[in-house]
Amino acid sequence: MIEQVAAALYKIKPFNATIIMRSGLAGQLHRESSRVYACTTNIPIAPEGNRICFGHRSKQFYVHFASAISKLSPNHIAAIVAHEIGHVFALAKFPKLREGDAEEAADNEVLKNYGIVINYRGPKELQWIDDLDLARVARLTKNPAKQGHRPLWMRERSLRMWAGNRGYSFRSKRASSGTLYCTVGYPTPDGYDDTVTVRIADHAQAEGGGFSVEEGYRTGEADFSLDPSTKTTLRDVYRQIDALSKGEQQG
């Protein structure tokens, strides 16, 4: 599972690291928190074990996983893999971070690059992700070839900034794993706002729209859907919303 999760995340945002499976880590690392299961270094720790390489840049990092990680739940495994990859991004930017700051920086990089929220659970405070994020990672492992889009949060931010620059209203909500619904409101001549709904997702839109976990019903089909099954781009959405706004204003 470690290899599958790492490969799925690499498809979204490439990182520069060698992943190494080992019999154990506790004897060579701190015996606290998840370091019994994983760690990230800028030098290999001998013996290296089985290597899985990602990236081709000159600055290389090594992500070490203990074999015992396979006994954890999928929620823990995916979270620990993502967290360690977060360390790769953080170390590349801030090579001299202190221990506590480095952990927070890694989680922030995971959120920034993948839109995944890392939580901590259990007596050892192991990294953990909820079932929604786990389901999204699972979909990526099954369909890696279709994941050419930017992360959801990045496309949502681009749409939010574009709407703000136009003076349009904007709001968004997460309907289910891997799905965001954004509502853009544009002005009309009579002083009211009309709206369009833009769906940003990593999978095709279901008939009737996505199911809202928070509200317990289907959200309805969006006016525009940005997902791997369509050829619609953010630029297409921008042009069409502007055209709708001008059409309204022209009467």
Residues 123 and 64 in one domain: yes
Read off the pLDDT of each residue in 38-47 and give the average, rounded to a whole number.
Answer: 70
- Percent pLDDT > 90 in the chain is 12
Which of 146, 164, 197 is the last residue before a domain boundary? Answer: 146
Last residue of a domain, one of 146, 178, 195: 146
What is the per-residue pLDDT across 151-177, written as a single tens digit (0 to 9) for each? 677 788 889 889 988 889 999 887 665
Same-domain status, 102 and 204: no
Number of domains in the chain: 2
Whether residues 123 and 177 fall in one domain: no
Q: Is the pTM of this model over 0.75?
A: no
* Domain shared by 177 and 137, yes or no: no
Sequence-ordered list of residues with C-beta below 8 angstroms from that of 62, at least 6 positions apart, any chain: 17, 18, 20, 40, 41, 42, 43, 44, 45
Banded model confidence at residue 31, pLDDT cuts 50, 70, 90: very low
For residue 141, what are the domain limits?
Answer: 2-146
> Does residue 171 share a domain with residue 63?
no
In the block, which residue shows the tokens 């013996």? 47
- Residue 69 burial (10 A CB sphere; 0-12, 13-18, 19+): buried
Q: Looking at the structure, tell me whether residues 67 and 12 fall in a common domain.
A: yes
- Statement to judge: residues 125 and 216 lie in one domain: no
Whether 16 and 113 map to the same domain: the answer is yes
Residues 61 and 75 in one domain: yes
Same domain flag for 216 and 96: no
CB 251 within 8 A of CB 226: no
Amino acid at 25: L
226, pLDDT greater than 70: yes
Q: Are 87 and 102 in contact (CB under 8 A)?
A: yes
The last residue of one of the domains, among 112, 146, 180, is: 146
What pLDDT does 249 receive? 44
pLDDT digit string (tens) for 124-160? 788 999 888 888 777 766 654 444 446 677 788 889 8
126 and 163 in a single domain? The answer is: no
Tokens of 16: 């520069």
